Amino acid sequence: MTLEADVLAAFPAEVQIPAQLVADAVAASSATSPRVLVVLDDDPTGTQSVADLAVLTRWDVADFVWAFTHIRENQTKPAVYVLTNTRSLDPAEAAARNEEIVRNALEAAAGTGAGPRLRLGFVSRSDSTLRGHYPLEPDVIAATVAAETGETTDGVVIVPAFPDAGRVTIGGVHYMRGDAGTLTPVAETEFAKDASFGFANSEMAKYVEEKSQGRFPASDVIVLDLNIIRAGASAQDPAISAKAIADALESATDSTPIVADIVTENDFRALALGLEEAERRGKKLLYRVGPPFVRGRIGQEIRTALTSEEAFAGNTPSAAGGLIVVGSHVGVTTRQLNDLTAQHSSARTIEIDVEKLIAGTKTQGEAEADAYIGTVVSDVVDALRSGDVIVHTSRLLIKTDDAAASLKIARTVSAAVVAVVNRTLKSFPPRFVIAKGGITSSDVAAHGLEIRHAIVRGPMLPGIVSLWEPVDGPAKGIPYIVFAGNVGDDQSLTQVTRKLSATF
């Protein structure tokens, strides 16, 4: 058993850094040439650490123009999230989508109706437990930027840490926090056994070598450990840390992988100042990160959890029941679902039978599966008239060793969930919608609720679980809660539902 306190004992204390110091540095670098971070989010849960930023589920040039205009006119922090949902795609599809998004963002930034030409920085946001298309996505982004602008990427900064959810990187090793201050290397958790994105290494340099199949040897990876991130600890001087970080990146060239230790929000801010300094010196960087990186990088304060009143601010809440949709199969999600059903006795629970759904598509084709979905929708609509409804996929996980087949099953199930939500929305709009699980919440947002543009208002719980306000489409005005499958404790889903429900 490893104790976090013991591991941290070998490193300096954190450097206290106010968010405003980072915000001022970002503003200074944008004074003459405005810069916006475009965050390609491989599922929508990356927004859970930020507030008051635009989100796109479509990425035409016009969508980016809307987002860049929103930033300029509302003076919001310089970042926009693009919901790519690539974690649910095969590698070829994921690559094509990343390329299309980057091309369109660059075209929109060239001044097409969005004011002055913008400089763009690209963030490939992925999972804090290391699941996703790496190094494919950063590779494609870097190649597309080079093809479109002639600018080559010197380094890819890899920061999976998500302290709010118990994921930290110390000494170049990525851990998951447990009870009583324990740390478990992430490769020893259930997430490392993922059917599509499994991995064997918790040491980040070795993870990079593993996933790049040796293209980036572990010995070539630059490791920004806490000795560097916290170089200014003794004097509590952020400038010392910033210089140490920028100095450590001097040798980065041709997409050199760079991994960073992070344990606290101050570490994110120290890293942000160091990256600003490195970029001021001329380094061209791309980021592959977990959820909180962007908050630290743009100098945004940690948003306190939204209250019930704030969740519905500016909109009149419906008297109908709310819809809670659960698709994730990780252990914590199942425990959260069990707690919610036990605590919320007035809610109706309706199961989507995955075996029946898949068997129907194999035997009778789409018609039988569609008829089955129709009966589920009818039950949901009837139940919403009197209270909240919990819709979940059956908890028996149908597994296969074939990654492509595993993704196909996930898509079939997700399509059914989307159909249930969409037909329900158009028959009897719910008071709120909560979607549990990354792929689930992505598909529900883009297709079930037909959200094209939204604003992330903030977290529903401290540091995790985001509320989106749809600004267009049939779900406009209905709070939409994006709830990752792998965050929170056993009571978290119950706590969020209680905040929003009229009957709980």
Query: What band does 116 get if pLDDT is binned at 50, 70 and 90?
Result: low
Spatial separation of the C-alpha atoms in residues 169 and 268, rounded to whole Å: 12
Instruction: Out of 241, 276, 298, pick the residue that ends a domain.
Output: 298
The pTM assigned to this predicted structure is 0.91
User: What is the secondary structure of 345-410 as a DSSP string?
Assistant: TTSEEEEE-HHHHHHHHHHT-HHHHHHHHHHHHHHHHHHHTTS-EEEEE-S-----S-HHHHHHHH
Measured between alpha carbons, how far is 105 from 496 in angstroms, rounded to an integer?
34
In a domain, 429, yes or no: yes
Q: Inform me whether the pLDDT recorded for 223 exceeds 70.
A: yes
Q: What distance in Å separates the CA atoms of residue 157 and residue 288, rounded to the nearest whole number?
A: 6
Say what the pLDDT of residue 362 is: 53
Instruction: Supply the CATH number for residue 451's domain.
Output: 3.40.980.20
- For β-strands 433-436 and 480-483, DSSP reports them as parallel
**CB atoms near residue 466 (< 10 Å):** 30
Same domain? For 278 and 317 the reply is no
For 50-61, what is the mean pLDDT?
A: 96
322 part of a folded domain:
yes
Same domain as 294, residue 312: no
Tell me: do 384 and 288 sit in the same domain. no
CA 225 to chain CA centroid, nearest Å? 24
Domain CATH for 126: 3.40.50.10840
The verdict on 349 and 474 lying in the same domain is: yes
- 86 and 148 in a common domain: yes
Task: Judge whether 303 lies within some domain.
Answer: no
- Same structural domain, 276 and 336: no
Band the pLDDT of 407: cuts 50, 70, 90: low
User: Is the pLDDT confidence value at 113 over 60?
Assistant: no
Answer whether residue 69 shows pLDDT above 60.
yes
Domain boundary residue among 298, 330, 352?
298
Co-location of 403 and 379 in the same domain: yes
Instruction: Tell the residue number behind the tokens 């490939």, with chain if given.
Output: 124
Does the structure show a pLDDT above 80 at 264? yes
Q: What count of other Cβ atoms lies within 10 Å of the Cβ of residue 64? A: 28
For residue 275, give the nearest of 248, 302, 301 by alpha carbon.
Answer: 248
Q: Which of 232, 266, 298 is the last residue of a domain?
A: 298
Structural domain boundaries, residue 197: 2-298
Q: What is the mean pLDDT of the chain?
A: 93
Per-residue pLDDT of 295-349, as tens digits, reads 999 999 999 999 999 999 989 998 899 999 998 777 889 999 999 999 999 999 9
| Domain-embedded: residue 26 | yes
Q: Report the pLDDT value the prediction gives residue 98, as an integer from 0 to 100.
A: 98
327: nearest Cα among 433, 449, 417, 398: 417
Quick one: which of 248, 231, 229, 249 has its CA closest to 240?
Answer: 231
Tell me, yes or no, whether 290 and 331 share the same domain.
Answer: no
First CA to last CA distance, the chain: 40
295 is written with which tokens? 């908050």
Q: How many CB atoms lie within 10 A of CB 73?
A: 9
Give per-residue pLDDT as tens, 456-503: 999 999 989 999 999 999 999 999 999 988 889 999 999 999 999 999
197 assigned to some structural domain: yes
The candidate with the shortest Cα–Cα distance to 217, out of 201, 195, 194, is 201
Span 187-214, mean pLDDT?
Answer: 96
Residue-level pLDDT at 102: 98
State what percent of residues in the chain have pLDDT above 70. Answer: 94
Residues 71 and 113 in one domain: yes
Q: Are residues 74 and 128 in the same domain?
A: yes
In a domain, residue 236? The reply is: yes
396: pLDDT confidence band, cut at 50, 70 and 90?
Answer: low
Domain count, the chain: 2
Identify the band that residue 121 occupies on the pLDDT scale cut at 50, 70 and 90: very high
Residues 250 and 372 grouped into a single domain: no
Q: Which of 148-157, 396-405, 432-441, 445-454 has the least mean pLDDT?
A: 396-405
Q: Are residues 405 and 472 in the same domain?
A: yes
What is the 8-class DSSP label of residue 218? G
